[in-house]
C-alpha cells in the first residue's frame, strides 16, 4: 500500500518593527478618527453660554436704569440727595424715579390772561365779585339789599346747590348801599325763549329755597319776585 507524501508547513515569517527615531517624536493625530462627546459636556457648554448671556443682560439693564434715573432727577430739578429727588419718608433715602411718569408743565400761551407769569390758572373768582358773561341772561333773585343781607342770601343759595352772585347796583362805587342778588348760572337767548330745562329748574329751585330762607333764616324776601336780565350787549 503506498504511503501519502508528508506535508511540511512553511516556516513563519518574522515581523521586525522599525525602531523609532532617536529623540521621541510627537505622535501623529488622526483627523479622520471620530470624536466622542458626552451629554455632560453638551449641557456644560449650554450652561456657559446662558450664563454669559445673563451677565450681559444684567449689565445692560443696570446701565439703562442708571441712565433713566439720572435723567429723571435732572428733570425734577435736583441732583440727588434731597435737591428735588423723591425721598422715602421713613428711611430718608432717594426712591428710584421712572422717567416715563414725569411730565413737564405746558408753557403758558403767549398773551394769555387770567393767569400769573408761570402759566398757572387762578381758581374761580369768589361769589360777589360781579363777574358775568356778556350776552347771557341771569336770573335776578332779589334786589335793593344791603351788603350783609345779599352775602348771606348768596351763601345760603350756594350751599343748597344754586350758586349766587352779588353785584353792586348800577356798578358804581358811589352807590354802595344797594346790592342785587343774581343766580350765577347764565343762559342764552334761545334757552330763555324756549323755556329750556336749565331755566325752569333754576326758577323752581330758587322758589323752593326762598320759602326756606324766609321762614327758617329770617330772610327779608322769599325770592318770589324773580326775573331774567341780560348782561352786556
Helix, strand, or coil (residue 182): strand
Domain extent listing, the chain = 39-106, 137-230
- The continuous run of DSSP H or E covering 183 comes out as strand 179-187
- The continuous run of DSSP H or E covering 64 comes out as helix 39-75
DSSP-derived pairing of the beta strands 179-187 and 164-168: antiparallel
The reported pLDDT for the residue numbered 192 is 92
The reported pLDDT for the residue numbered 186 is 92
The reported pLDDT for the residue numbered 113 is 44
Q: Which residues, listed in sequence order, are joined to residue 168 by a DSSP beta bridge?
A: 179
Read off the C-alpha cell for 110: 403767549
| DSSP code per residue over 100-141 | GG--PPPPPPTT--SS-TT-PPPPPPPTTS----TT-EEEEE
Model confidence, pTM = 0.44
Could you state, in chain order, the average pLDDT of each consecutive group of 10 residues for the chain (233 residues)?
61 54 58 72 87 88 78 57 52 57 51 45 46 90 90 92 86 65 92 92 93 88 91 80
Q: Do residues 35 and 41 make contact, with C-beta atoms less than 8 angstroms apart? A: no
- The continuous run of DSSP H or E covering 227 comes out as strand 227-230
- The separation between the first and the last C-alpha atoms of the chain, rounded to the nearest angstrom, is 164
Q: Which of 23, 47, 104, 38 is nearest to 71 (CA)?
A: 104
The reported pLDDT for the residue numbered 5 is 64
Amino acid at each position: 500500500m503506498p504511503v501519502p507524501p508528508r506535508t511540511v508547513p512553511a516556516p513563519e515569517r518574522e515581523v521586525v518593527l522599525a525602531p523609532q527615531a532617536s529623540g521621541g517624536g510627537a505622535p501623529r493625530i488622526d483627523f479622520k478618527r471620530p470624536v466622542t462627546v458626552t451629554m455632560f459636556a453638551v449641557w456644560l457648554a449650554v450652561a456657559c453660554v446662558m450664563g454669559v448671556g445673563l451677565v450681559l443682560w444684567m449689565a445692560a439693564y443696570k446701565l439703562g436704569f442708571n441712565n433713566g434715573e439720572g435723567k429723571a432727577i435732572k428733570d425734577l430739578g435736583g441732583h440727588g440727595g434731597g435737591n428735588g429727588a423723591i425721598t422715602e419718608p421713613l428711611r430718608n433715602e432717594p426712591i428710584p424715579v421712572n422717567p416715563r411718569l414725569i411730565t413737564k408743565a405746558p408753557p403758558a400761551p403767549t398773551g394769555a390772561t387770567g393767569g400769573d407769569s408761570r402759566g398757572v390758572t387762578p381758581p374761580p373768582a369768589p361769589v360777589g365779585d360781579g363777574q358775568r358773561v356778556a350776552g347771557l341772561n341771569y336770573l335776578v333773585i332779589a334786589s335793593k339789599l344791603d351788603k350783609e343781607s345779599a352775602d348771606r342770601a348768596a351763601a345760603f343759595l350756594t350751599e343748597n346747590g344754586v350758586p349766587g352772585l352779588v353785584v353792586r347796583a348800577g356798578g358804581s362805587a358811589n352807590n354802595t348801599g344797594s346790592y342785587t342778588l343774581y343766580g350765577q348760572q347764565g343762559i342764552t337767548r334761545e334757552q330763555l325763549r324756549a323755556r329750556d330745562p336749565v331755566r325752569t329748574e333754576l326758577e323752581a329751585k330758587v322758589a323752593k329755597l326762598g320759602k326756606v330762607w324766609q321762614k327758617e333764616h329770617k330772610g327779608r324776601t322769599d325770592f318770589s319776585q324773580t326775573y331774567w336780565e341780560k348782561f352786556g350787549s
